[in-house]
Amino acid sequence: MKALSRLTTSVQNGSARRIQFRSLFPQAEIEMEQSVLLADAWAAYGGSMDAALAFFEGVVPGWDWGKYTSTKAFYATKHGIAIHDVSAKDAVPSRALLTVALLALAEERGEREETAEAVTDEALAQTLTLMAGAVRSDG
């Protein structure tokens, strides 16, 4: 299991430690922007929805996000790919969005584990994108 996948699992089950977030940027030295994203990730884990939004937009630009009204789980979409985290339905909202951002980042890096919920059905992705516009919340 890769470090990003371990971090995602820890966020999902509420056992993440601050040091685990460092695995987001594996190079020895990080840039200022990455440092801010690390702070956003930790704050999102702690409950800040503003930080979760900033993290999502910073690590997966071009992805859209939304929230299922029936389950309160979040999802992300981009170019025919839809990722959702079904385990987040009872989670802290910022932590649920953080989880979806981490899953989308894994998809971007080609590190998605088979257990991650990624759907490549274009029709579903288009439907979710349309739903994102209707359900999207600004905080």
Sign, CA dihedral 109-111-116-118, equals positive
Position 89: which residue type?
K
pLDDT in tens, 35-45: 899 999 999 99
pLDDT at site 63: 94
pLDDT for 131 equals 53
Q: What is the pLDDT of residue 94?
A: 92
Q: At what angle do helices 32-46 and 49-59 cross, to 10 degrees?
A: 140
For tokens 């979040």, name the residue.
74
Among candidate residues 94, 88, 46, 95, the one with its CA nearest the CA of residue 71? 88
What is the pTM (predicted TM-score) of this model?
0.76
Domain ranges of the chain: 3-135
The residues of the chain scoring below 70 in pLDDT are 1, 28, 86-91, 113-139
What is the predicted pLDDT for the residue at 90? 59
